């Protein structure tokens, strides 16, 4: 079962208190840092989205380092919600439509695309 928003917010609070995001990742929660080129970020997000769609669904929190502890781990992102949705949609087959929710409870600009469970797990889901 995918996480709900309160569970994601609890994980973000634990990071803010000094834990590393990598220790809090699970089958339904992933943290990604926006460090690469726009093309690479789109590919990274689409790859994670495909994995979630082929399983139980999940949430990707973009703009959080999985290695740094505490508030410095909230690195933010330069991508807007439309860019995130478009990059995942354009780089996946069949195209994935994701919803997103802004991360506003903690410092920086985080984005949280929520990935629904696929209607049927598709091992042929691909990354373009």
For residue 95, being part of any structural domain is answered with yes
Q: pLDDT by residue (tens digit) across 34-60?
A: 887 766 888 899 999 999 989 888 899
For the chain, list the strands marked E by DSSP.
Answer: 29-32, 58-62, 92-93, 99-103, 110-115, 126-127
For residue 126, being part of any structural domain is answered with no
- Mean of pLDDT values over 68-90: 89
For residue 104, being part of any structural domain is answered with yes
CATH code of 43's domain: 3.30.950.30
Which range, of 18-32, 47-61, 94-108, averages the lowest pLDDT?
Answer: 94-108
Rounded distance between C-alpha atoms, residue 13 and residue 92, angstroms: 32
Mean pLDDT taken over the chain? 81
For residue 39, being part of any structural domain is answered with yes
For residue 73, being part of any structural domain is answered with yes
For residue 40, being part of any structural domain is answered with yes
For residue 124, being part of any structural domain is answered with no
Rounded distance between C-alpha atoms, residue 39 and residue 13, angstroms: 30
pLDDT computed for residue 51 by the predictor = 92
The backbone region for 49, taken as left when phi is positive above 0, alpha when psi lies in -120 to 50, beta otherwise, is alpha
Higher pLDDT, 2 or 98: 98
pLDDT computed for residue 6 by the predictor = 83
For residue 123, being part of any structural domain is answered with no
Q: Which domain holds residue 16?
A: 5-117
Number of compact structural domains in the chain:
1
Phi/psi at 48 (5° precision) = -65, -40
Q: Are 63 and 69 in contact (CB under 8 A)?
A: no
Rounded distance between C-alpha atoms, residue 18 and residue 38, angstroms: 29
Edge to edge, the sheet with strand 58-62 lists 29-32, 58-62, 110-115, 99-103
């Amino acid at each position: 079962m995918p996480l709900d928003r309160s569970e994601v917010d609890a994980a973000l609070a634990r990071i803010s208190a000094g834990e590393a995001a990598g220790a809090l990742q699970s089958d339904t929660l992933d943290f990604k840092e926006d460090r690469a080129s726009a093309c690479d970020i789109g590919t990274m997000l689409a790859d994670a989205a495909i994995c979630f769609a082929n399983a139980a669904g999940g949430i990707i929190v973009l703009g959080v380092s999985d290695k740094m502890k505490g508030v410095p781990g909230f690195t933010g992102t330069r991508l807007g919600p439309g860019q995130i949705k478009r990059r995942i949609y354009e780089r996946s087959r069949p195209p994935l439509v994701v919803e997103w929710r802004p991360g506003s409870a903690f410092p920086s600009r985080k984005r949280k695309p929520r990935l629904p469970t696929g209607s049927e797990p598709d091992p042929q889901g691909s990354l373009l």
